[in-house]
Amino acid sequence: MPRTLFVTTALPYANGPLHIGHIMEYIQADIWVRFQRMQGHTVHFVGADDAHGAPIMLAAEKAAKSPEAFIAEIQRGRRQYLDGFHISFDNWHSTHSPENTALSQDIYRRLKAAALVYTKRIEQFFDPVKGMFLADRYIKGECPVCGAKDQYGDACENCSSVYPATALKNPYSTLSGATPVLKSSEHHFFKLSDPNCKRFLEEWLDRYGALRRPAAERVMTLAGRLTTMAVTRSAPQRALRNAALSIMDALPPVKDRLAMNLSGLARRDLAA
């Protein structure tokens, strides 16, 4: 029986050109896609640039370009490699697209209406020289457990301890070397720990057989450990967007199914 398949690869980060590791992955996926097409199946094979985040902002600044101009240039450079290696993506897009913006906002509004999103002020390290809040990877200091120097803001490579960046001793910004200061800002949090989210995931996996069994079992194990997470970043970084959403647009049935499930979740939550 002919099947309709959705195939994608890890989205390359738009802070640099494609390298041999990317191409190797795409060639493997491409062989599989061609085989499925020869078997008479319909395959949607799509890829996109992952175009958001602090590393892109910093790379653009270094190149004296706006982040938008920087990622546009990176994207323009993709074609020659994809064509050169005969990789048959049906569509190559970007997480920085109007479709992704519309979908992300739609999902956000539905979750907000279902009371699964709330705001809270939190304290974070801020680089007074660069004038920006610092992600954990841009903060280093002494491990609060073993005292090892030059450890990142989230974990110690020496003793494997995990800690919040605020626990580091003598912290410094890896961007400017300045001592970061604590500053508070408001963030939006997604209550992934809500039992409704776990139930939604279980039902979705069950109803659509969306994943093969080992993968589905792994997801269910993880579902039990879902925690509330921040889904915004302080300016000047952009709001975190789900990279997968840009691809959803290439496959309307999945997008509609997702929207349907989200509205189902919203309804259930509002009724509860």
> How many residues sit close enough to Zn ion to count as binding (CB under 5 A)?
8
Sheet containing 42-49, strands listed edge to edge, beginning at the edge strand earlier in sequence: 4-8, 42-49, 91-94
Q: For Zn ion, which is the closer residue by CB, 148 or 226? A: 148
Encoded one letter per residue, x for contact with Zn ion by CB under 5 A and - for no contact, window 131-170 reads ------------x-xx-x-------x-xx-x---------
Tell the smallest beta-carbon distance from residue 125 to Zn ion (Å): 19
Tell the smallest beta-carbon distance from residue 165 to Zn ion (Å): 14
DSSP letter at 148 equals -
**Residue pointed to by tokens 């120097």:** 149
Sign for the CA dihedral angle at 83, 88, 89, 91 comes to: positive
Q: For Zn ion, which is the closer residue by CB, 29 or 143? A: 143
Tell the smallest beta-carbon distance from residue 167 to Zn ion (Å): 11
Helix 54-62, helix 67-76: angle, nearest 10: 90
Tell the smallest beta-carbon distance from residue 144 to Zn ion (Å): 8
Q: For Zn ion, which is the closer residue by CB, 91 or 158? A: 158
d(CA 168, CA 148): 10
Q: How far apart are the first and last CA of the chain?
A: 41
Q: For Zn ion, which is the closer residue by CB, 43 or 165? A: 165
**Residue pointed to by tokens 């110690």:** 156
Binding site for Zn ion (CB under 5 A): 143, 145-146, 148, 156, 158-159, 161
